[in-house]
A and B are shown apart, each in its own frame.
Chain A
Amino acid sequence: MEMVYCRPDTLTDTPFHYCPGCGHSVVHRVLMEVVEELGIQDKTIGVAPVGCSVFAYHYMNVDMQEAAHGRASAVATGIKRVLPDRYVFSYQGDGDLAAIGTAETIHTVNRGENILMVFINNGIYGMTGGQMAPTSLLGQVTTTSPYGRDVKMVGHPIKIADLLIHLPGAYYVTRQAVHNPNAVRKLKKAFEKSFQYQKEGKGTCFVEVVSNCPSGWRMTPVESIKYLEETMFPAYPLGDLKVPEKV
């Protein structure tokens, strides 16, 4: 029998601990598929965040470091600066990247650090049980915004990718998703491009994935997909935000 689909070598055989239907597992798989297909497993170093994907290093079969909450891009900077010929990526949630780690995020991109930053925006703090994130939508009910996110108290959801495109160090900024096969194919392309740009030393590639958190959202996986399409995507429109200028 011909094998048509299997686990890439770049994923370990440790089963994912993610909740059923959670986008993290799909993003892990797509990212690692690209690393395998590009044949760069031995040159790739990842940085895991603090958040639900804290154990990304158990699943991704590449050398990895676990960073303190919010600091993944600084850690990735340290790695890339001493190993400039390796492919370095960071992987962070929205609390990690857009709240506690905002300074590191902005300055890493501003330096044009030649890395790939993967940003999982699920509009909530998954790991700690579904608290409000800086990306939570107005009116969104979470455990720390039980009456809905109130703009007067905590301001608007932060669209971090929209901010980053203004920094010259950002070479490629895109917002993708994993809610259907077509979206997955596009995400894969975004990762492929990012590694190619990194090889060419172009600067920071920032790939946001608007993802779901069925547990934190108190929804079934199917409901969460509907919520993504009806509520999240209008607030965080998918597509490229910054692409290299054509020469």
Chain B
Amino acid sequence: MEEKKNKNGEAKLMKGNEALAEAAIRAKIDAYFGYPITPQSEVLEYLEREIPKRSGLVLQAESEIASINMIYGAAGAGARVMTSSSGPGISLMQEGLSYIASAQLPCLVVNVVRGGPGLGTIQPSQGDYFQAVKGGGHGDYHLIVLAPASVQEMADFVFEGFRLAEKYRNPAMILTDGALGQMMEKVIQPEEGSLPKIKTPWATTGKTKDRDHNIITSLFIKPEEMESVNHQLQEKYRKIERDEVRFEEIKTNDAEIILVAFGLSSRICQKTVDLGREKGIKIGLLRPITLYPYPYKRLNELADQVDFMMSVEMNAGQMVEDVKLAVEGKVPVYFTGRMGGMIPSPDDVLHEIESIIEKQNVLQD
């Protein structure tokens, strides 16, 4: 981990969840509404401890359903608001997220994913990829999804998440996992108050004489109207897909094999890249930072130079579908991963790669 120092102060050792919570205070959130669930309860706990001493409001709701609807109300009133949870709680929020996306309200939702399905396990997982990037709730909508891979990014992406959410009036999600939430690393916090507040003339703040009453709604009963709202949303999504794709490439220049991995599994894959290269296998890594919008274009370009790609995930193979879409059949796309709270090791991944190479050699002989 690179040790950075800047005017915001010294790098400080922090837990991922706490780094994220601290960043939320520094982003000057007006309110946080949440409900406890492992492995992210530290977020609520940290905010309950710190917010009364500093600024903003924190409220423990009776459920995730209530939290997300409080978020809807407060966001509709023009406030900068955030909630966090883990899989089972995020499932309860899906209805609200669909309403928030439809009503075009900005907010930040954090999913510190644990193993599922069902009550599952409290161990880390990436099993909520589909839920995060493919909708999750009803209707055609997208969340803007950011996937941090370090404690530093847990903090930074709070600012980035709000910036994107407010720019597009769309809910944003930080999709992370229990390991990143619990691990301690050095982090330099973003400067407090450095995220400008947007103007919210559409917010329900009280109808003054100089304007019509503001209405926050997701109900457009006439199909023509509902379709035109959908067109509006889709236009917005195309713009996001054009302008906001973010990813990181590691040793892709001369790579003959590309690993695709986000969040925690991308850190594992970094080690695999090094291990492989020590053995003369030219592996590179593409780490999507935004999971929606997804780096389809770049993966498609990279497909022209490699033998195959492999998606490495802590689930049964969810993102691999997007990698396949991206490469359009130009090269084989494989998947490897562990499920249910298990984490693959760099060696596991390398072993998978070696066995694919072996099979390919046999076919070529």
Contact = CB atoms under 8 A, between A and B. Distances in A.
Interface of A: 12, 41-45, 47-48, 54-55, 57, 60-68, 71, 74-79, 81-83, 86, 103-104, 107
Contacts of A76: 73
B217 A71 contact: no
Nearest to A48: B217
B95 A68 contact: yes
Contacts of B30: 82
Given A66-B216, A66-B219, A81 B59 contact: yes
B71 interface: yes
B320 to A, nearest CB: 34
B214 to A, nearest CB: 5
B217 A81 contact: no
16 contacts: A45-B205, A54-B219, A65-B215, A66-B215, A67-B72, A71-B66, A71-B96, A74-B61, A75-B69, A75-B73, A77-B66, A78-B70, A81-B74, A82-B81, A104-B65, A107-B61
Contacts of A60: 213
Name, among A60, A78, A86, the residue most crowded by chain B CB atoms within 10 Å (CB to CB): A78
Contacts of A44: 206-207
Interface of B: 30-31, 33, 57, 59, 61-63, 65-66, 69-79, 81, 95-96, 99, 103, 204-209, 213-219
Contact of A78 (B33, B63, B206, B207): B33
B215 to A, nearest CB: 5
Given A66-B103, A66-B217, 20 more contacts: A42-B209, A43-B206, A57-B217, A60-B213, A63-B206, A64-B214, A66-B216, A66-B218, A75-B69, A75-B76, A76-B73, A77-B59, A78-B33, A78-B70, A79-B74, A79-B76, A82-B30, A83-B205, A104-B66, A104-B69
A185 B216 CA distance: 31
Contacts of B217: 48, 57, 65-66
Contacts of B209: 42
Given A65-B76, A103-B65, A74 B70 contact: yes
A104 B75 CA distance: 18
Contact of A57 (B59, B75, B205, B215): B215
Contacts of A61: 207, 213
Contacts of B72: 65, 67-68, 71, 75, 78
Contacts of B70: 74-75, 77-78, 81
A78 B216 contact: no
Contact of A82 (B31, B62, B99): B31
Contacts of B205: 45, 63, 83, 86
Contacts of B99: 68
B204 A78 contact: no
A201 to B, nearest CB: 16
B215 A78 contact: no
Contacts of B208: 42
A236 to B, nearest CB: 26
Given A62-B213, A64-B204, A79 B96 contact: no
A174 B56 CA distance: 34
A78 B82 CA distance: 11
A28 to B, nearest CB: 14
Given A78-B74, A81-B31, A64 B69 contact: no
| A-B residue pairs, 5 tightest by C-beta | A78-B73, A78-B70, A74-B69, A63-B204, A75-B73
Contacts of B76: 65, 75, 78-79
A214 B73 CA distance: 32
A82 B57 contact: yes
A55 B69 CA distance: 19
A75 B217 CA distance: 12
A64 B213 contact: yes
A101 to B, nearest CB: 9
A42 B208 CA distance: 5
A44 B13 CA distance: 46
Contacts of B33: 78
Contact of B204 (A55, A79, A107): A79
A62 B76 CA distance: 14
B77 A74 contact: no
Name, among A43, A67, A103, the residue most crowded by chain B CB atoms within 10 Å (CB to CB): A67
Nearest to A71: B69
A42 B206 contact: yes
A219 B214 CA distance: 36
A124 B281 CA distance: 70
A43 to B, nearest CB: 5
B215 A64 contact: yes
B204 A65 contact: yes
